[in-house]
Structure 1
């Protein structure tokens, strides 16, 4: 099927003037597999910018799209700007229009609800958070998430071309992977319903900080040690991160990092038999002297004295 006929068919389906799904389905599809297919946007004619917005997705289908290129998703009461690699989930129940601002690339898959519920134990699509929660399921992707999603679409393209007898079971698994990626992104953006950017940044920082711990062996080392390390990982300027954390917690980035490191140091001194040099090393200090100076500043005890006192209290 050529690009023009695909565009026309999608429009007819979206407006209810056509119910012929067969043109979008791969040949030889198993009846029990439901309806599923995958497309690459590079294979289709690109709508010109001066054309009116097109219904984005065939309304008879659920659709998962990976979009690259500037465009707009226009809903009844809002317009969402798409400016970076983006994962979009479409449902027949929520109409919207798509207006490309430049040539697009990316991929999308279309499927009916029956595709994910071939048995009584199948997934009820409309009960999934990605299709049930309020708001628009449009998620900008980090470089890591983009590569992950792109890889899944590549697996879908490769698998649908095979004659593997259980390939639609595998394609369901890939589709569910995409849905769960979206739901993780949805959960991150829904942590705070008021969409307070400062609170969200603080939440991301705290999560990243906690993921450095606990340390299980002397060979394990924390990966992020300084305020700049965390700012780089969160893709913000260190001054902005400091400002946000100061507003939301009353402490600077360095204060929060130091507090968590000293907390871990106390645990290691009390609960392990690691040498002080090993503890200093895995906590990211250049040598024992730097660690001892830091620990005494934070606790008023030298590491060795703290360990002796803690052990004495435990013994007593």
Structure 2
């Protein structure tokens, strides 16, 4: 690709092109890395490896899973708090869930999901939701299976209906608060020069549909649907680096900026947070966990309907 296609810093993303074939990807000390099915097949019997199956329904896991995988539903990660529906579970609950799954903070954990063979459900986001949560609460070696169980099955690799014997671990939660950004700080910096806010929801929600009591999006947010970053055939498989470079460039997302990932409830945003922070190694990435659900619950928070251009992102919409 011609260098003139890229904004300042954009060419640095190209360093990842060759590393994609050298798993775990990328090299370095990132908490979350990408692995492919070949890597997992080669390491399936590693004594220190934990494999977490986060398929959408336990019956999907019962019907088929990767040998040795432990089932851990993403449903344990968030609960209602004082009525707000999407807050993270208490530290003690998350700690106990990880302990029962045998997760050790410094031993590698592979996370995968699927479009459930039994339930027919699953959008693919459970992988990045679990990977983000593991890293946020203190895990140091999270491996994301590119393509998930669907890629594993497409290659005719072994499946199992056996349940592994798991000894509870001594995992201790250590929250990395620097990943998330709260409402007050978000409001304070979101319109600053050098800050870009991404909305990972589908375009129809961004423009004004969806279940929220107020339609639209946060003023200034740029719509980058998370699904556009994944292959057409598999919502658990990232597009090639060359394709991702072009998409990020078209949306004005540059590594020299502070990037804040948002969506509807903070779940879709984990896909873009994982990609930018850990796979592309952007230095300043945050996630607004409350996202649009919290935004519209706050009195006076402005909302914009319709497709908003990059040029309009600094404008302030009228308050409700």
Structure-2-length-normalised TM-score: 0.23
Decide which structure has the larger Cα Rg and report it. 1
- Greater helix proportion: 1
| Structure with more contact order per residue of length (Cα contacts < 8 Å, sep ≥ 6) | 2
